[in-house]
Structure 1
């Protein structure tokens, strides 16, 4: 009976999230509380479940809030502007350099883990070059999607933070061992960009000049039309992970951009980023402490004074609090599922159905299915609804929850988020570029899958994820 209530709870949450009937916070916190009472738990017991669940996600939520503030402040100060300008300038007129520059720009722009901001930077910067050369806008969205996708594995990105909350570890435990795989994914993404650039060069060389002019003119009109009618799914909200509300907090709300930039502090800010990332990778302090200290330093260095610092917090508060509240609501879900015994009952019943022969390669199956699963499950639905069940099933066969989580973040809503219609940033990507949704998905999904599986293979070769679970 308990497993039935548990599955019903997950099903209702998934239905609410996929149909966008209510906000993620309402679905993730409200449904499990109701389910706990239906299962016969007292108010005191449910309160204990919630308290225990919140305790498991507080550190991740804190890391996320201050990471958003930290990178947001540095973006306000103009740290990334010279690099972005240089990349655009180096793109030139050769399709190969244009596609490589596009992917590189998306990687740099996605350092803060915000999908909407990445697309708002990369698409308008590169689209005029694509139009001038007559290059395909599907190549543009593919290159931007691959660059943003491989960077979305970072611990301050939404999928890794969600996975860490679900299995009760800090995000660094998932991310640091995967750094070689992420670097390999970046190289693969650039290699695909090179191939797409070469293919565009051959196509353009074979087309008469009159056709190129026609294509370019049509692209300009189409793009302008689409830029003015970008819509997001009702109720969707952009979080710093590239999923959610398109109306992401603009870094310089209420201010002229020039009043925020700090060009004289460029190298100081760059050094601050290097030190922060080094502290994260070396684990000299917990991730939340690293970002709290880094955010404080960034504010003191760039915007001294109460008024200026309050303004920067206000500018980034929406995205920070949205994700933090979602993580806390997920803590309620996880606390109820674990404390009530639902997750154990669900895992036990599922383990009886799944063939035991496939369990040694269970993490590999999870990783391989990550990209296509992004078409079905959004980040909240997967990491807070599906992943707990997968982890529970794996544990029935002695498979580490860490391996299942790491396999998940190598594809599900990381490399896969630019093809996911369940994220608001997806609609911003296709809308700004003026491409058809179906054609974009078909053009990108194969390449995204190649990158994801390549990262999974590297993770196996480096011993992070076992080929065969013992």
Structure 2
């Protein structure tokens, strides 16, 4: 019980500091677990715990480092310029169409199951449009995370695979049960984009853009590094990026080799540098331009590693999971799937997917079996909390999203959390209506 209390204290103090802007996410991620961990008696183990946590997130940090450098290079080279112009022609300066397009694009790209890739692609395409039309970056950050929260439930996205491993349920049946809810949740994300789009349309109006306006907007976005643009390399860069995306999504399938994402982007960045910039000084300039953004994100991910290392190494994560399961009154046994769904919300926010689905879910499933509920029913119910999971400070790629859009973490969590409640309700209703989970 004391371990759980210390664990909750770490999370609560961290959230208070972030929400009240009393500390930066980096300092809070590093210092809060270290101070409270020391008070809890783990002072002598802080080093090993922190190192274990850093090792756990190191592949993600390396992947983000080279993904940022790679897509940054492609932005500078001009790969996404035709897409931006196309989007501008389609939306005609209408904020509503821009936000709905963001929701659709984020949903489609999120099929690959990797949040960092989704963030890089969507932000690379949409940030110039948002800047040109004066739209709020907060809307972009919120819509991306709402869409990714839904599509993350695909079997290769993470949580579903862990449910299958923990409960030994059939992958196809589980997917069939949750797919209708995912479809409705995506509709909800589009509805959110419509609501926000209408508000932005009221604030900014609709700019009827003709070709001259689009050309003027293009000219207004010129940079000091325009000499680094490579319009003639559009198709080679597109093919290289397409190959990377295919390898990332389908690696290990259809005879394609499985290459870790970190190595894939590192190799891709090296090839892109040589392909686009033959001058060594130009290559160094590209690294200088985009290295600062990469460094900010990587430091946040490594800081999250210390946060996770203290919670996991000390046993606080396991204790939090056990407390979540133990605090539920036995009188609610007849509504155990509902209990599981509700517990999954704070559970997947406070814990990593591994900790919740491999540590807590089996306990919930064993308890549910005593009340006559099958592992499949409990597994379906446990997906409901994914509506809030990606708002957790333990999710590495959100720091990339926040860095690219420039929004404050606490404000973003409040804004996204408000709309995520709708996703949660959609998942909850779908669990009963389509998921085969009895009332």
TM-score, normalised with respect to structure 2: 0.62
Q: Which runs of 5+ in 1 are unaligned?
A: 128-136, 165-176, 201-214, 221-252, 374-380, 415-421, 430-436
| Secondary structure in 1 matching 2:244 | helix
Corresponding residue for residue 259 of structure 2: 285
SS at match of 1:60: helix
Deviation at 1:423, TM superposition (A): 6.2
The answer (yes or no) to whether the contact 2:145–2:390 under 8 Å persists in 1 is no
Match of 2:301 among 305, 324, 327: 327
TM-score of the aligned structures, taking structure 1 as reference length: 0.58
The aligned counterpart of 2:26 is 25
Query: Take 1:52 and 1:335, find their aligned partners in 2: how far apart are those partners?
Result: 6
State yes or no: 1:53 paired with 2:30. Answer: no
For residues 71-90 of structure 1, the aligned pairs below 5 Å read 71-90=71-90
Matches within 5 A, 1:97-136: 113=119, 120-126=127-133
Identify the range of structure 1 (269-278 vs 115-124) with the bigger mean alpha-carbon deviation.
115-124
**Deviation for aligned residue 1:305:** 3.2
Check conservation: 1:362, 1:394, Cα contact below 8 A: no
Alignment partner, residue 372 of structure 2: none
Partner residue of 1:302?
Answer: 276
CA spacing shift, 1:36–1:145, aligned 2, 3 Å: closer
Structural mapping, 1:376-455, within 5 Å? 393-398=360-365, 410=387, 412=389
Residue 61 to residue 457, structure 1, CA distance change in 2 (3 Å): farther
1:150 is aligned, of 131, 147, 151, to 147
Q: Residues of 2 paired with 1:290 and 1:99: CA distance?
A: 31
Match of residue 325, structure 2, among 328, 335, 351: 351
Structure-2 separation of matches of 1:364 and 1:37 = 34
1:360 match: 337
Number of positions where the alignment pairs a residue of Structure 1 with one of Structure 2: 366
Change over 3 Å in CA distance of 1:46–1:117 after alignment to 2 = same
Q: Distance in 2 between matches of 1:319 and 1:19?
A: 25
1:424-466 CA deviation, whole Å, 9 max, x = no partner?
888869xxxxxxx9xx969x966x766676689999999xxx7
Structure 1 residue 59, shift from structure 2 partner: 0.6
Change (3 A) 1:65 1:194: closer
Q: Equivalent residue of 2:236, what SS?
A: helix
Unmatched segments (≥5 aa) in structure 2 = 110-115, 162-174, 206-220, 252-257, 367-374, 392-400
C-alpha contact (below 8 Å) 2:325/2:360 kept by paired residues: yes
